[in-house]
Structure 1
Amino acid sequence: MEDRQGNRGRIVIAASQVAGTYFLPQKLLSFTEAYSDIKVDIQTRTDDEIEKLVQTGAVDIGLTLKFPENHLFFRITEFSRDRFIGIQTTAPIRKQTLLIPKDCYFMFNRDSELDIIKMNSIEAVKHFVKEGMGYGVILESAAKLKLVHGELDYWSGYTPQDAIANVITRPAERLSNSIWYFLNHIRKYTR
């Protein structure tokens, strides 16, 4: 429940695995420090579930890497940016496979002779690639440490692409003050 100023209340956020893990933590920490009386609940959902939950009002905010199919129904705010990059092991590659997180959306050559395996997480992709299972496509920020420490290399067989996380909400007239505080707060910190 919200008070008159809107600086108390509760926000329910549904986020995909990748968006919730790699894009949300720093901005959510900043928001909860600035608005400590607004409680935030987070649910991990698939992109299709997120769109339906926001549309029906079951959650207040959706955070996804997938642009909504029914985009005219939603208010869409860019939340954060990163890049998808190709990675490979520094050891010999023992299998010609392309490993990708299942909730990431990017373009790749479907005519490729690589077998494609969709994995549950970016961490799983990194581990399998490091062990020589094939090549991977993940967020650059998620690979940074392993690249710096020489555990992974860039894979030149993939052209980096932008990764944009979007916040989706219902139309503006249906938003509570707490949600407006959240949206305005993240706009200040979007790269």
Structure 2
Amino acid sequence: MSDLPFTLDQLRILKAIAAEGSFKRAADSLYVSQPAVSLQVQNLERQLDVPLFDRGGRRAQLTEAGHLLLSYGEKILTLCQETCRAIEDLQNLQGGTLIVGASQTTGTYLLPRMIGLFRQSYPDVAVQLHVHSTRRTAWSVANGQVDLAIIGGEVPSDLQDALEIIPYAEDELALILPVFHPLAKIPTIQREDLYKLQFIALDSQSTIRKVIDNVLIRADIDPRRLKIEMELNSIEAIKNAVQAGLGAAFVSLAAIEKELQMGVLHNAHIEEVTIKRMLSVIVNPNRYRSKAAEAFSREILPQFATPGWEKHLVQPPSLETDVLKAAAAHPHRGTPANGS
């Protein structure tokens, strides 16, 4: 591999500079000196015979060649990490790493419970939870940075062919009111009552707000007629505002279990209306799935799922299968040792 014009360390440095916006901050994040980072970049540019950064501005800006190298470099580094995890699986089936992704609501209220159950059975597995927007989460799964994810939004159309999207579980949206609101004292309210309430909602440009609006439309509720008096940037802030009597809101039922048990919020029932959305599990069927990810899919996901979801799950490529195939094709090399 000595004929390659770059090293993995140089790719890591390039990625850090692009992420941090400066050579100094990149050096700090990698725990090396700034002169060492600068020297590596100079060597890389000399080996490739192209400039990778425009050095005129205050922020380190990639050139076109720099962007191209970064794009491929991130794929190379991700594949290296995936390789290490696969080898670690073969060497240590009791350990390993599980990386789970989630959109905001599922990542805040559902995944921590699932990971807690998983850790009870597999305390030696290192678990990472990455909570981002549905789009960013889908990109992470497609790029192999995340083993699997649970999302509530729609996967971007340009990623749908690259991912396996599995209907997983229904998530009910609840209409929450202050416990002292007049409508909290009656068993059910009418659909038309919604248009008389003052609502607290997420920012109109947020992904979750758009998902909720689409779900309301499917339930024959016109979100444009709702009186939005206040927009906040988190579900927790919305729950606190409703509890303080500032308005009503639609939130995931999973997000208010604790508040309902404590009796500090009221879940209002709308006559003949149940508002639900489908959560999805997304995986990349062409990526190696770690033993930890397989155990999570087999033992934890079914506990929260709609029955029958597993039949949609395609088995991913297996490193052990690939090794055995290679051994069969070249018997003189011997067979791999048993994992026990």
Instruction: Please give the TM-score of this superposition, normalised by the length of structure 2.
Output: 0.48
Q: Secondary structure in 1 aligned to 2:223?
A: coil
- Alignment of 1:10 with 2:97, yes or no, is yes
| Structure 1 residue 82 displacement after superposition | 3.4
Q: Does 3-12 or 123-132 show the bigger shift?
A: 3-12
Distance 2:111 2:252 in 1: 14
Residues 11 and 61, structure 1, Cα contact 8 Å, conserved in 2: no
Q: How does 1:18-33 map to 2 (within 5 A)?
A: 18-33=105-120
Question: CA distance change for structure 1 residues 6 and 72 in 2, over 3 Å: closer, same or farther?
Answer: farther
Identical amino acids, percent of aligned pairs: 22
Tell me how large the CA RMSD over aligned residues is: 3.0
Which residue in 1 is equivalent to 2:141? 54
For structure 1, the residue ranges without an aligned partner over 5 or more in a row are none
**1:41 CA drift (Å):** 1.1
**Residue number among 167, 176, 182 corresponding to 2:296 in the alignment:** 182
Counterpart in 1 of 2:121?
Answer: 34
Q: Offset at 1:80?
A: 4.5
**Aligned partners of 1:88 and 1:135 also within 8 Å:** yes
TM-fit CA distance, 1:148: 5.1
Distance 1:48 1:133 in 2: 32
Query: Residue 97 of structure 1 aligns with which residue?
Result: 199
Separation in structure 2 between the aligned mates of residue 14 and residue 127 of structure 1, nearest angstrom = 26
The 8 Å contact of residues 198 and 229 in structure 2, kept in 1 or not, is answered as no
Structure 2 residue runs without a partner (length 5+): 1-84, 183-196, 217-221, 306-340
The 1:172/1:185 distance shift into structure 2, 3 A limit, reads: farther
Number of the residue aligned with 1:84: 173
Return the index of the structure with the highest Cα Rg. 2
| 1:114 corresponding residue in structure 2 | 227
Q: Give the 5 Å matches for 1:116-155.
A: 117-147=230-260, 149-155=262-268
Instruction: Count residues in correspondence.
Output: 191
Q: Secondary structure at the match of 2:224?
A: coil
Query: CA offset at residue 57 of structure 1?
Result: 1.5
Pair 1:63-2:150 in alignment: yes
Equivalent residue in structure 2 for 1:168, among 277, 282, 287: 282
Residues 33-74 of structure 1: CA deviation (Å, up to 9, x unaligned):
222332111122111110111111122222211132333321
Identify the structure with bigger relative contact order (alpha carbons < 8 Å, sequence gap 6+).
1
Residues 98 and 116, structure 1, Cα contact 8 Å, conserved in 2 = yes
Tell me if the contact between 2:200 and 2:232 (Cα under 8 Å) persists in the aligned partners.
no
TM normalised by structure 1 equals 0.80
Pairwise CA distance, 1:156 = 5.0
Tell me the CA shift for residue 153 of structure 1.
2.5
User: Any conservation in 2 of the 1:18–1:121 contact (CA below 8 Å)?
Assistant: no
**Over residues 148-174 of structure 1, what are the superposed CA-to-partner deviations in whole Å (9 max), with x where a residue is unaligned?**
554333345694322443321111553
Q: 1-side partners of 2:110 and 2:270: how far apart?
A: 26
Q: CA deviation at 1:181?
A: 1.8
